[in-house]
Amino acid sequence: MADETRQDDRLALLHPDVVERRAALAQKFAAAEPFPHLAFDALLAPELCARLVREFPPFERGDATDDYGRPGRKAAVHDLRGLGGAYAEFDALIGDPAFLSLLTELTGFRDLVYDPEYASSGTHENLSGQAQSYHVDFNEHPRGWQRVLNLLVYLNPEWEESWGGCLELCDSPVAPTKVSRIVPLLNHAVLFAASERSWHGFPAPIAPPAERVPSRRSIAVYFYVKTRDQVPAHSTRIVDVPIPGQIHAGTCLSNDETETIISLLLHRENHIRRLFERESLYLQSIHRLLLQRLCSVDHALTAEEAELLRFPFVEMDRHVAEHYRRELALSRVEARIAALPRREIGGRFDLHGQSGVTHDSWVGPRLRAWGRTTERVGTVEVRGSTPSGIPEQTLILAIGGKQWERVVRGDFAWRVEIEPIDAGREITVEIEAARMWRPSSSGGSTDTRDLSWLLRELRIL
């Protein structure tokens, strides 16, 4: 009787419907598409949920570094017990045998293990602009347990689908045909089986109104079993967001589309670097194991051992050959892009030289272009964009010993009437910027250049 009372007390932290409808929910979990899951409109008791919202840790308290130690736009606190209050109660709930028994009833997974270390889990906070590509999660805990269940609880009192950030469970990371979407509203939750086909993410970047909803907040909890199946251990498998479908011949790229393309390329670069580092760790482990298990003058190698000894060499040689192939392919593409005519600077003007603008049209502290007029000119037109890190930029244009100043924001077009200059005259145009921005400073980029604005077009007319 005492055990039943204690169980009832602990499960009282859940919404009553969860306990009362457990049989029906179990059937729903098993039948769900695209893979077994349960979406709850209310998982926790309202009072506990309200306290979790009030006591949510500030972004600065969490671990907000990315895979390479750079500041990012997602923060996580892994020590829920250390937060105390409502979070200590939540921790006690999910680790209680009564709750683990309930999860077994709902999902069929037996002998579930709660993770007191919260490996890669805990509170999650995503700032505006953050997205999450479709992925399948890592499947092995540092202690060797196999991950089998994910539980996500949302703590956003206000959220609209148009803001992005809705969790999507899908049957494929590329052109999915079955998608279950969960809006991250307060006390909404999703419990789903973690397997090789449990693709999920929120690929649409979150964009809530900052003055009302500064971020997307949730708690992530993972459950394990101690007996592994035959699936090899792996890290999180991510499928990068594809290039936008509207990019094709005849397209004029907007500022947003250009920034999206650059962001997608940088994300792939970081992804490749992460996989390379993960592969290096495996090779180091293999080297150690080979020395420990196989290298002995008193032991003759078996056929299996000889095969295992040869395997790393074969794989690494294949990998090196593939790297060289990709290097050549990328080198050829780079040369072809570099040979394309620059379209940014022109008009009634033969460009003889320029400085201060990069191969991808970003401008440093000062843009300088010089050449000879082909016709009489009297106007300078500048089109460009300020980066997200500089919402407002001051530009100073100088030509013929005179200067003009303009404050620009976002996509801009600036037209300046100058004193007429006859054909055949040598002229120099300079545009100086007041503020600089380094993309790597906001996280999610390895670009350490100091940039000021993106040049779309400079015309002398």
Pairing of strands 179-182, 189-193: unpaired
- As a whole-number percent, the residues of the chain with pLDDT over 70 amount to 94
78-87, 287-296, 339-348, 386-395: which is most confident? 78-87
pLDDT mean over 404-427: 92
pLDDT mean over 215-224: 96
With cut-offs at 50, 70 and 90, classify the pLDDT of residue 117: very high
* Span 333-381, pLDDT tens digits: 888 877 776 666 778 888 888 889 887 789 999 999 998 999 999 999 9
pTM listed for this prediction:
0.70
- Above 50 in pLDDT, residue 130? yes
* Span 13-22, pLDDT tens digits: 999 999 999 9
What is the Cα–Cα distance from 449 to 437, expressed in whole angstroms?
8
pLDDT mean over 269-274: 83
Looking at the domain that runs over 2-238, which CATH code has it been given? Answer: 2.60.120.620
- Above 50 in pLDDT, residue 161? yes
pLDDT mean over 228-236: 82
With cut-offs at 50, 70 and 90, classify the pLDDT of residue 154: very high
The reported pLDDT for the residue numbered 5 is: 39
Looking at the domain that runs over 345-460, which CATH code has it been given? Answer: 2.60.120
pLDDT mean over 403-423: 92
With cut-offs at 50, 70 and 90, classify the pLDDT of residue 220: very high
- Above 80 in pLDDT, residue 67? no
The reported pLDDT for the residue numbered 255 is: 64
Exposure string of 51-62, with b = 16+ CB inside 10 Å and e = fewer, is bbeeebbebeeb
The reported pLDDT for the residue numbered 247 is: 76
CA-CA distances (angstroms) from residue 13 to 117, 156, 307, 356?
22, 19, 55, 61
Pairing of strands 402-408, 453-460: unpaired
For residue 58, which of 76, 78, 45 has the smallest C-alpha distance? 76
- Above 70 in pLDDT, residue 11? yes
In terms of pLDDT, which residue wins out, 9 or 233? 233
* Span 429-454, pLDDT tens digits: 999 999 998 887 766 567 788 999 99
What is the Cα–Cα distance from 402 to 419, expressed in whole angstroms?
10
With cut-offs at 50, 70 and 90, classify the pLDDT of residue 3: very low
- Residue-range domain boundaries for the chain: 2-238, 255-339, 345-460
The reported pLDDT for the residue numbered 69 is: 56
The reported pLDDT for the residue numbered 297 is: 67
In terms of pLDDT, which residue wins out, 268 or 85? 85
Mean pLDDT (the chain) is 88
The reported pLDDT for the residue numbered 70 is: 61
Task: Report long-range pairs for 99-106 (Cβ below 8 Å, ≥24 apart).
Answer: 99/10, 99/11, 99/14, 100/223, 102/11, 102/18, 102/19, 102/22, 103/149, 103/191, 103/223, 105/22, 105/23, 105/26, 106/22, 106/25, 106/26, 106/29, 106/38, 106/191
3-state secondary structure 421-444: ECCCCEEEEEEEECCCECHHHHCC
Q: Out of 44-53, 335-344, 389-398, pick the least confident.
A: 335-344
The reported pLDDT for the residue numbered 387 is: 84
Q: Out of 25-34, 65-74, 234-243, 445-454, pick the least confident.
A: 65-74
Whether 345-460 and 2-238 are alike in CATH topology: the answer is yes
* Span 292-308, pLDDT tens digits: 877 776 778 888 888 88
